[in-house]
Amino acid sequence: MTEQRVISRATGVEDNEYKWGFDFDIESDKAPKGLSEDIVRLISQKKGEPEWMLEWRLKAYKYWLTLDNEEPKWANIDYPPIDFQDMYYYAAPKSSAEAPQSMDDVDPEIREAFNKLGIPLIEQQRLSGVAVDAVLDSASVATTYRKMLEEVGVIFCSVSEAVKTHPDLVKKYLGSVVPYTDNFFAALNAGVFSDGSFVYVPPGVRCPIELMTYFRINELNTGQFERTLIIADKGSYVSYLEGCTAPMRKTHQLHAAVVELIALDDAEIKYSTLQNWFPGDKEGNGGVYNFVTKRGAARGKNSKISWTQVETGSAITWKYPSVILQGDNSVGEFYSVALVNNYQQADTGTKMIHIGKNTKSTIIAKGISAGKAQNTYRGQVKIMPSATNARNFTQCDSLLIGDKCGAHTVPYIEVRNPTAQMAHEATTSKVDDSQLFYLQQRGIGLEDANYMIINGFCRGIFKELPFEFAAEASQLLRVNLEGTVG
């Protein structure tokens, strides 16, 4: 038991498979099932959005219709067709109809629910100085540490709030990195997105605490379509964390999020994700379909965007956090651990588009496959003619546990400048027998030995995570590896 408590979000629920699988009984306000123009209008109306926002949504929705349910097919994943009419596009806890003014106004039931998840919404119970925006189904329910952030000028609120309070910023940047025409799921998201976080860091400000959004799908048959927009103005710095869980459901749930990052001159954004959506049970029933578009634009000179992700959940992961390196001397980084077990499928990687001079990118991806799962790294490095002296280094390593799983590597390397230097390396193997033997011979059990080796394999990525997240990631790894050997 003590061991489980280390997993900060574990909660004493007696289920050692997926510890976040309980659902809360919170009354919610749902839009009717299905998707239509009326639903889009309804979502916009519920959010009390201005006319321009509604128009944008409708344009996106109309574009999505022209795609005629043609989901992208190139990824190495296999799933039955999604019925986009058979889900709810909007669900919000009833009590949030009027946004809470302070923490005390937050519905005690919701507060309790997030406590259960290990995300205390009460500021006194500090989560080591992390400001949290909690999103339950389609609505943001609480944002902590508002005052402290306001003092330094950082705006951290839900997107729906930002649409009303900072329309200029939203208008200027929303859809500027991921336009609604980008892909099928981005178009869908733009039409029906419900909530998400908005961050603006003013020039020269180093955000004093880590910002975090905690996503939770609670309602049955709902899709979650959040949209996150982070803008780091000149010379600023922000570190943002994202965590996600969902209850155990026999049916699949769709999560199609869009994240846009914008870094101006000399700004830096560090974006970390711990993705732990419900992966489905051991027979592959249920689980979240995670189709996410994440992209950062390193627009300014000397700007930097860094993605770190630990992907352990979801039945299907389709996710390529990318960086467009527009500014001269800009830097893009991608650090990833993707662990799949049972019947999970992950097709994940990154895109690094080098446009500016002296741009640099680093990609380190570690994939672990167990059970009957399939894990694919798919990444693109594109060096445009203008990107003089661009540099890229890519390393993708895969570990296989068991002979029923698969590990795949599909890099796309496109070089159009002779001064560029790019190198890609990938290896695939199983956990080394001689290392296992050595550890066992020292008295360490097979399962622990296996975990130690795999933890070491991922260490380089974990150290990129903020401290609390790193400990949690390594625990998450352990929980998800349980029962994979022997």
Partner 1 sequence: MTQTLTKYQQYETDYKSFDDSIGSGQPEWLRSMRLSAWSRFQELGFPTARRGNEPWKYTNVGPIADASLALATKPAQVTLDQIKATAPWDDSWLNMVFVDGHYVSEYSGSASGNVTVTSLAQAIANGDELVEQHLGQAPQFEEADGFVSLNTAFVRDGAVLHIKQGVTADKPVHLLFVSSGADEATVSHPRVLLVCEANSKATLIESFVGLDENVYFTNAITEISMASGAELQHYRLMQESEKSFHVGSARVQQESDSVYRSKVFERKVGLGRFDLYTNMDGEGSSCDLKGLYYTSGSQHVDNYININHQKPHSTSRLYYKGILDGKSRAVFGGTVYVQPGAIKTDSRQEDKNLVLSPDAEVDSKPALFIYADDVVCGHGATAGNIDQDTVFYMRSRGLDLEAASRQLIYGFADEIIEAVEDDGLRQYLEKLFLESLPSYKFEF
Residue numbers at the binding site for partner 1 (CB under 8 A): 72-74, 76, 383, 385, 389, 398, 400-430
- Partners of 337 in the beta sheet? 310, 366
Cβ proximity to partner 1, 36 vs 427, nearer residue: 427
Nearer to partner 1, 86 or 425 (CB): 425
Give the nearer residue to partner 1 in terms of CB position, either 36 or 429.
429
By beta-carbon proximity to partner 1, the closer residue of 75 and 269 is 75
- How far CA 118 is from CA of 5, 9, 59, 257, 476, in Å, comes to 10, 4, 39, 23, 14
Closer residue to partner 1 (CB): 423 or 446: 423
Q: Looking at beta carbons only, is 10 or 187 nearer to partner 1? A: 187
- Decide if 219 contacts 137 (C-beta within 8 A): yes
State the minimum distance, in angstroms, from the CB of residue 424 to partner 1. Answer: 4
Which CA distances in Å does 193 have to 81, 258, 387? 21, 9, 35
Q: How far apart are CA 275 and CA 314, in angstroms?
A: 8
CB of 76 to partner 1, least distance (A): 8
Helices 446-462 & 433-441, crossing angle to 10 degrees?
120
Least Cβ distance, residue 337 to partner 1 (angstroms): 18
Cα 4 from Cα 108, distance rounded (Å): 26
How far apart CA 263 and CA 297 sit, in angstroms, is 6
* Cα gap 213→135, rounded to integer Å: 7
CB nearer partner 1, residue 162 or residue 352: 352
DSSP helix/strand/coil, 122? coil
241: closest CA among 215, 277, 265, 267?
A: 215
Tokens linked to 361: 């990118």
- Name residue 58's amino acid: L
Q: How far is the CB of 421 from partner 1 (least distance, A)?
A: 4
The residue among 51 and 403 lying less far from partner 1, judged by its C-beta, is 403
Minimum Å gap between C-beta 135 and partner 1 is 33
CB of 368 to partner 1, least distance (A): 12
CB 16 within 8 A of CB 481: no
- Distance of alpha carbon 79 from alpha carbon 30, whole angstroms: 27
| Least distance (Å) between residue 428 CB and partner 1 | 4
State in angstroms the smallest separation of the CB of 157 from partner 1.
39
Exposed/middle/buried for residue 431 (C-beta within 10 Å: 0-12, 13-18, 19+):
middle
Q: Give the nearest distance from C-beta 328 to partner 1 in angstroms.
A: 16
Dihedral (CA of 118, 123, 126, 130) sign: positive
* Residue among 76 and 362 whose Cβ is closer to partner 1: 76
